[in-house]
Structure 1
C-alpha cells in the first residue's frame, strides 16, 4: 500500500474532520437526551461521520492507483469531499435546531435544506462514478487487486443509489392525500412508519423493511472487498494455495459475486417490507442458495488444478 502522504489530501482532511465530528457526536449522545423519530438525536451525525471516515479514506487511497486521468481523479475526489462536507453540515445544523434532516419538508427552510442535501448526494454519487470509471482504465498489475477495487467501488455506487429510492413518497404518503401539504416526504422504512421499534446501534427497523440496510451493505463494499484481498495476502505465507495469484483472483471473483448477491438480497427483502431479523421462507431459501453457491465457488477456486504452481514472480509479489 502506498504511503498515506500520497493519498488524496482533500479526502484525507475531510476524513479527519469527520473523525472529530464522530467524537463530538459521541459526546452529544452522552449529554443530550433529545429523541427524534425514535432515535437519539445525535445518532445520525455520529453514524454518518463514522461512515464518511472509512468511505473517504478508501477513495483517497484508491486515487493513488490511477495511471491515467490523475487530474480528473483529483477533482472528482475533491468534489466528493466538498459535497459530503455540505451534507454533513446540514445534518448537524438540523440536529442543533432539533429538526429532522432527511425527508423534512415541514417549512420552506426545512424543504430547502432537504433539497440541498439531495443535490449534494447526486454530486457525491457522480464524483464517485467518475472515480470508478478512471479505476476501470487504470493499469493495476495485480488482477485480484484490480477486481477487488473495481467491484468494491461499483457495488458502493449501487448501495449509494438506494438512497435515491428513499426520497420518493411512500405508498402510505401517496394514499394520505396532498403531498404539497405533507411535512415528511420519503422514508427509510418500508411498510411501517419511520421511528418504530428498531435494532440497537444501527436503528434498523425490526417490524418492517429498511432501505438503510442495502444502502449500508452496498456502500461498504468499497472497504470490505479490498480488505478481503489483503487478508488473503496476509494468510498466504501460511497457506500454500493462497500464494498463487490465480487462486487469489478466483477467490476475489467469488467474494465479489457473493457480495453483489447479498446486496441484491437485502434490497429485495427491504422493498418487500420485511425486517432483516424476521425473514420469511422465500428469503431464507434464497439466502441458502447464495451461501451454497459461494461455498461451491470458494471450493472451486481453492481446488488444485493442472499446470505449473505459483511462479517465482508470484513469490516476489508477496514479498514486495
Structure 2
C-alpha cells in the first residue's frame, strides 16, 4: 500500500510553524542586522512561506487520484530538499553570513550552490505534481480552474526567483566576486526597505513577483471557495458555469498582476512608488477585470439552482 504524502506534508508544516516561533524569538532577542534587515527576518519569512507550501500541497495531495506512488516519492524529495534549504539558511544566520548570492568564501559558495541545486529539483518536483493535478478530475468548474491554474502560476512564480540569480552590471564589471545576483534592481541590496516584507523602497525588488506568483496557489482556490459560499446567498452565482467564468477572469487578472509587478521590478521601480505608466497599466487591468466580471454576472441566469452534490467543491475532500 502506498503511503499518502499528506501526513508527511502536514508534519513538515508543523515543523515550519515551530521554526517561525523560533525565528520570532531571534527577532526579539538577537539584534544583529544583515543587509539592512534583522538577521532573523529571512528565516521567519521562509518558515511561513515553506509552511504554507506544505499545507497547500498536503491538501492537494488528497485530491490526486493518479500515480499515487509517484506523488509520494516526489513529495518526499521536495520535503527533504526544502528541509536542506532551511537548514542552510539557519546555519548562515548563526554564522552571521548571507545565505543567498554569497560566494565570498569556498564554504559560502558551496552552501549557495547546494541551495540552488535544491531549488531546481524542488521546482521540477512541483512541476510533476502540477501536471498530475491537470490529470485529476475535479467536478466543480471553479475549483478545477482555481487549483490547476493556481498551481501553474505558482510554478511560474517559483521560476521567477531565477531572475535574482542574474549578476548585476556592477558584479559583471568586478574582477572579484563576493556576491552574484541580487534582490534589488537599480539600487544595491541593503538599502531602505518596507517593514515586515523587507522589499526595497528605493528600487525594484524581484522578490515581489516571486512572492505574488508563488501564492496564486492559495489565493485562487480561496476565491473559488468564497464564490461557493456566496452562491448560497446570491442566486446569480449558483450556476457552475457562472462561477467557472468568474474564476477564469480572476485567474487571468492574477496572471496579469504577476506580469505587471515583474515589469515594474525589472524597471527598477519601487513597489510603493509606481509611476504613471505602472498606474495606468494597473488601472486598465482592474477595469478589464471588473468589466468582464460584471458582464458575466449580469448575463448569468438568475435564480438557477444546481444539484446538491455540485454545490460542494472538491476542496472539501
TM superposition score category, shorter chain reference = over 0.9
CA contact (8 A) 2:64 2:133 kept: yes
Q: 2:304 aligned with 1:310, yes or no?
A: yes
Give the superposition deviation at 1:228.
Answer: 0.6
Change (3 A) 1:319 1:42: closer
Q: Distance in 2 between matches of 1:71 and 1:7?
A: 9
Q: Secondary structure at the match of 1:303?
A: helix
Q: Distance in 2 between matches of 1:6 and 1:246?
A: 33
Give the superposition deviation at 1:172.
Answer: 2.0
Q: Indicate the RMSD between aligned Cα atoms, in angstroms.
A: 1.6
Q: 2:36 aligned with 1:26, yes or no?
A: no
* Residue of structure 2 in register with 1:284 after alignment: 279
CA contact (8 A) 2:6 2:59 kept: yes
CA contact (8 A) 2:13 2:55 kept: yes
CA contact (8 A) 1:245 1:310 kept: no
- The farther-off stretch of 156-165 and 23-32 is 156-165
CA contact (8 A) 1:104 1:114 kept: yes
CA contact (8 A) 2:4 2:72 kept: no
Q: Secondary structure at the match of 1:65?
A: coil
Equivalent residues in 2 for 1:47-86, closer than 5 Å = 47-86=45-84
Q: Distance in 2 between matches of 1:186 and 1:316?
A: 51
* Residue of structure 2 in register with 1:187 after alignment: 182
Q: 2:233 aligned with 1:238, yes or no?
A: yes
Q: Distance in 2 between matches of 1:66 and 1:93?
A: 35
CA contact (8 A) 2:5 2:71 kept: no
Equivalent residues in 2 for 1:162-177, closer than 5 Å = 162-175=160-173, 177=174
Q: Secondary structure at the match of 2:191?
A: coil
Change (3 A) 1:310 1:80: farther
Give the superposition deviation at 1:227.
Answer: 0.5
* Residue of structure 2 in register with 1:142 after alignment: 140
Q: Distance in 1 between matches of 2:202 and 2:288?
A: 29
Unaligned runs of 5+ in 1: none
Give the superposition deviation at 1:311.
Answer: 4.2
Equivalent of residue 261 in structure 1, options 256, 264, 274: 256
| TM-superposition CA deviations, 1:108-141 (whole Å, max 9, x none) | 0000000000011101111100000000111111
Q: Distance in 2 between matches of 1:261 and 1:37?
A: 31
Q: Distance in 1 between matches of 2:133 and 2:300?
A: 31
CA contact (8 A) 2:20 2:43 kept: yes
| TM-score computed with the length of structure 1 as normaliser | 0.94
Q: Secondary structure at the match of 1:182?
A: coil
Equivalent residues in 2 for 1:209-220, closer than 5 Å = 209-220=204-215
Equivalent of residue 297 in structure 1, options 292, 303, 308: 292
CA contact (8 A) 2:146 2:221 kept: yes
Q: Distance in 1 between matches of 2:169 and 2:288?
A: 35
CA contact (8 A) 2:142 2:243 kept: yes
Give the superposition deviation at 1:25.
Answer: 0.2
Q: Secondary structure at the match of 2:304?
A: coil
* Residue of structure 2 in register with 1:120 after alignment: 118
| TM-superposition CA deviations, 1:272-317 (whole Å, max 9, x none) | 11111111111111111100110011112212346x963442x443
Give the superposition deviation at 1:42.
Answer: 0.2
Question: When the two structures are aligned, how many residues end up with a matched partner?
Answer: 311
The ranges of structure 1 where at least 4 consecutive aligned residues each deviate by more than 4 angstroms after the TM superposition are: none
Q: Distance in 2 between matches of 1:186 and 1:6?
A: 38
Unaligned runs of 5+ in 2: none
* Residue of structure 1 in register with 2:41 after alignment: 43
Q: Distance in 2 between matches of 1:319 and 1:34?
A: 50
